[in-house]
Structure 1
Amino acid sequence: MPHLRRSALAGLLLAVVPAAALSACGFDYPTDRVNTIAAGVNDRSGDVDALGIRILATAQGEGRLIGSLANNLREDASLDEVSSADGVTADFEPVEVAGRGTVNLATDTVVPVSGDFTAGDVVPLDLTFSDGTTLSLDVPVVKPCFQYTQVPTDLPSASESPSEKGSGKSTEASTEGTEGEDAHAEEGEDAHTEESEDAHAEESEDAHAEEGGDATFNCADEAPAPEGAH
């Protein structure tokens, strides 16, 4: 009889322990949580989610905001202002985000930023939306290397309109036309030799500048491998 009682008690304990362990887990399973893997910063506290927000720096103090905006509302919204207590500014037209829609800041629009920052910094930015919500983010600054080489970095100048660019080309073409054959004959073989020498010297200067320039923006030959992938 004692032997049977011990077996029954052991069976009862095996039946109770798993049930108690499962009840302690609750309903907040890790697989149910949002997991956005990105090099930038994420904020889902507002009606418009800011995902993978980064500054892609093209030079010291210059760059563009990249990442994604996802509108959780049925109504349209917009990113109206990007500001910083550290003096970083952004001059852009409001970025419209359709209801239940998304905007990729790297491909759909350009939000240029400028200020006292360089690659490797973390810049505090305030993103203000049309509904009055402001998201305060600590935004990393990255350089145009590896996966960022596909993002356009030739930002349009706010002081130069498309019509001005077109008129500049027309003036250049007119100037070349007035020079005509006289300028071509005047160049001759000596000018061709001088041009070759100048081009060679310019290439040497560019190579030297690239080698001894701002190392902050130099790209490694190979992208860093993920930790543990050796």
Structure 2
Amino acid sequence: MIGLRLDGYDPDLHHDAAVAFCIRARDDELFSPRHQHRKGQLILALHGAITCEVENAMWMVPPQYAVWLPGSLPHSNHVTAGAELCFLFIEPAAVVMPERCCTLKISPLCRELILSLARRTDPERAQMPTQRLIQVLFDELPQQPQEQLQLPVSGHPKIRQMVETMAQEPARWNTLGQWASVFAMSERNLARLVVKETGLSFRRWRHQLQLILALQA
């Protein structure tokens, strides 16, 4: 397996319809700063957890799911130590995929097709068996059901602190009152801030975070 930063490989310099890599996150690369690819990217979680931040939302990817990132979409990635992932890069015109970032529930067949592609060597990628595998994968990928597993976030420091702390200790931080005390502000003002920055009430926002964390467990 290669590292989160692809060991210097740039998929955008190649024009394969699809290319896949199995990734193991090393301790010195648990965070990938904001970047983008010309190609679309599917990130499949195999072991551990990965969080992608895109357009003021955090997309947390549980096992058996993948996050789809359309081409040229800026994003950053954060993974847990020892996480194992599969990256699938797709040429923009090769197959019709969602125009927006989304989470896909990946079927066992689709998962095995992606993993099989990741095991192919450079010479094998140009051979007909691989091209047929890619065509079957392109038939299956658009059929994968979409799930809304994103958490609305913003650059506001209070929202950031709440996300990071609650992700680490979700059972400890259950109430708006707890956070109001931490920030020395009224519950009403904090509730308004959460709605303004995320578009959700604190209860709905916390529930969405808890749902995603439960799927990752």
- Global fold match (TM > 0.5): no
Q: TM-score, normalised by structure 2?
A: 0.24
Larger RCO (CA under 8 A, 6+ residues apart): 2
Q: TM-score, normalised by structure 1?
A: 0.23
